[in-house]
Structure 1
């Protein structure tokens, strides 16, 4: 059944995007237990297979039912547009203890027998201790499964945010919501966003809080909402470009362009097929960030790139001139 998000007069002006390493971590843990979600991620699964075997993720996965509620306190909407993992984990640790027990019980009730299992009883017996334990499991999962791939994941997520931010600026809220996901239905007259979902019916009035839109790599093919008070209204949707996420970059720098700009600078220009920050681009090219940063500055000064700040980072993308000269037929 669908989610219904009710917009007030000011809420369309308070739409923002966010990227969350904590959300990607819990979603990665979920993928390990969901074979139907693994198709796009097989290269990643092969890489992390050994590390995953060293982790006991059963307590986390017990709180991830196939259908129904997952604890909001454990992976809440992000604090800002680009919060660090440690910042988000600190927010989990600082959760109001009064919220934890009912949230755990609600999640466990969605899986038959979970609440009565030994692990379920342990989680419910001491909610405060469960928060500490679950937070440490999330940290271990982050370090083993997600952090080594985070530059690649963040680059894709930030490219999605840059793209949809432009679409919002160009066509307004109706165009944006019409493109984010096929399950979205926007009634502008009533101010209602209907999100087709798989986990029950949910109605939430935004009440001036606006809406956070968050792309996710590991959530595919689902859309998630349903965050209750006191959490920020949020919709999580599958990121664009997931099909090529784990594909290694091929040689694509035209020879003539390499002769004109130099091979490294030409590689930098051609690799920017999506907006990207210095660290992610350096990771993609296998070069030092300081070297990539210097080349980005030269390309920007030459009018081939433009840059804008997103959170703590600067994202670079090609200008129309940069696109034209980086095409394969330039030589």
Structure 2
């Protein structure tokens, strides 16, 4: 490897690509949907309550106080980092849990990697999330979409999560929205769907 660095880098890149296609690519639509939903949720937290609300809901190990980010960890000894205006990149991940991973050494962008919201239910089959009564009322696909909508999501994200065609998901969403169980709002180039109070009550059995 040291004798021919260029060849070693090429070989590592090839192995990384193979690993991606074998281990990650088959589930990437589902993973990406979860990550995008987390980013949308965190963006709303930041817009509604600033950094205090964002970090208060992010992870117990993270705390934002008077312009200082504190990360509690049992692995890294206590230390202080001055970011010199470089900011902090917050990155959701499905591969870290329950702790956070951080890196602040220059010249890299200071980064905090945290478990994405909802990662605990990532591998549950969507239909298993819906109660039998809800399935009988709405049908399996609509019940799965409604009960699995823990955070706002787009048609594309829901199609990937439930392994359905986007056109089918769009039709289901239209029915659920017409029934008053979902609402929609535009965020950037996406339309996000979320449960209404009626939808929440129906899923919760209230």
TM-score (norm 2): 0.77
Q: Report the alpha carbon displacement of residue 168 of structure 1 after superposing the two structures with TM.
A: 2.3
| Residue from 171, 175, 184 that aligns with 1:294 | 171
Q: Tell me how far apart the structure 1 counterparts of residues 172 and 151 of structure 2 sit (CA, whole Å).
A: 17
Q: Tell me how far apart the structure 1 counterparts of residues 125 and 31 of structure 2 sit (CA, whole Å).
A: 13
Instruction: Report matched runs for 1:62-211 at 5 Å.
Output: 122=1, 124-188=2-66, 191-197=67-73, 198-199=75-76, 201=79, 203-207=81-85, 209-211=86-88
The superposition leaves residues 276-311 of structure 1 with CA deviations (integer Å, 9 ceiling, x where unpaired) of 33234224434222211233245446652214436x
Q: Tell me how far apart the structure 1 counterparts of residues 72 and 4 of structure 2 sit (CA, whole Å).
A: 35
Q: Tell me how far apart the structure 2 counterparts of residues 255 and 194 of structure 1 sit (CA, whole Å).
A: 45
| Alignment correspondent of 1:222 | 99
Contact 2:33 2:160 in 1 (8 A): no
Contact 2:90 2:111 in 1 (8 A): yes
The superposition leaves residues 214-239 of structure 1 with CA deviations (integer Å, 9 ceiling, x where unpaired) of 11111113322224344322211122
Aligned length: 200
Contact 1:305 1:322 in 2 (8 A): no
| 3-state SS, counterpart of residue 149 of structure 1 | helix
Structure 1 spans left out of the alignment, 5+ residues: 1-121
| Alignment correspondent of 1:51 | none
| Residue from 260, 272, 285 that aligns with 2:149 | 272
Structure 2 spans left out of the alignment, 5+ residues: none
- 132 and 244 in structure 1: CA distance in 2 versus 1, 3 angstrom threshold: same
